[in-house]
Amino acid sequence: MNTRQLGQSGLEVSAIGLGCMGLSHGYGPATDRPQAVALIRAAFDRGVTFFDTAEVYGPYVNEDVVGEALAPFRDQVVIATKFGFTFGDDGKQQILNSRPDHIRQTVNGMLKRLKTDVIDLLYQHRVDPDVPIEDVAGTVKALIAEGKVKHFGLSEAGEQTIRRAHAVQPVTAVQSEYSMWWREPEDKILPTLEELGIGFVPFSPLGKGFLTGAIDSNATFGNDDFRSVVPRFTSEALEANQALVNVLGEISRGKGATSAQIALAWLLAQKPWIVPIPGTTKLHRLDENLGAAAVELSASDLQLIAQALASVAIHGDRYPAALQARVGR
C-alpha cells in the first residue's frame, strides 16, 4: 500500500484508510466483536495504517473495538477519532456540544477506550454554533501541547470555519462526504484546503454502498440502517440514480476493475492529499476496496469519466433536513 501525506502536516498514512463506523453503528446490527477486531487487523496486515472512528459510533462502542484491535501494533498506525456530542438519556439522541470542558472530558474517555496515551488525529465531528470555533481550536491546541493529541481536524465544516480554526491551530485534515455522487466539496472546500495546505479525508466514498452496484431500486433498509431515512435512498431516487451506476459499470469493465475500485481510484486521482476511508464489514470487500490503490487512471480516463459524470443528474438529498442543517457551517 502506498502512503500519502495529509496536506503539509507531515502526517503520513496509507493511501486508503478504513472507516470503522459500520462495524458498530449506522448500517444495521453491529458486527460481532471478534469478527470486527479480526477485520481491522486484516486491514493492517494488508497495509492500512489509517483508521477512523468516533465517540458517537455506538456511542463509545466503536472506539473500544478499534482500541482493542490496534493495541498490538499501536505505534505503527494512525488513529483518528471525533468529539462534539453529548447524548440523551436513551444514549441515542445526539446533542451538539463542543464546550472546552466537554472536549477535555471526552478526550480523557477516548484515550481509555482507544487504549493509548495520545490521539493521532482529533476531529470536531460537527461544528457547534454555540461555541466559537476559536475556542474549540484553542482547546485542541492546548491538548496538543499537553501531549494528548497530535493533530487537529474538522468534519463537515464550512470554508470560513476552516479558515478561522486554522488561524488558531493548524488544521491537518478536513473530513467530509465526497464521491462521484456528492461533489459539493469541489466548489469551495477543496480549493480552500489546497490554499492552506490541509489534507482531505472523504467519508462515504462509495456513496454509502450505492456506487458498488450492489444496491438497486428494490433495496430495503431496516430501522437501524441510517439509509432508511436518507432521501437519496428512496426507491424512486435509487431508480433515477441507477444511470450513474450504469456509467460506472461501463468504465470499470473497460479498465478490468470493479465499480467500487474505479470510484475510489477516481478520488485518489483528484488530489495527492486526498485519503478516502471506505468502510466494510466483509473481508472480500476490504480486499476489493484496497485493490483500488493499484488502479491507475490516465488523463484520458479521467476526461472520459468527467464527461460521463456531467451527463448524469443525481436525484435526492444526501441527508434528511435535520442532519443537513448540521453540515457546512
Catalytic center residues: 57
Dist. CA 275–CA 5, nearest whole Å: 9
Q: CA–CA separation, 290 vs 293, rounded Å? A: 6
Contact between residue 319 and residue 327 where contact means Cβ atoms under 8 Å apart: yes
Phi-psi region of 208 (alpha: psi -120 to 50; beta: other; left: phi over 0): left
Q: How far is CA 105 from CA 99, 113, 136, 148, 168, in A?
A: 10, 13, 13, 12, 21
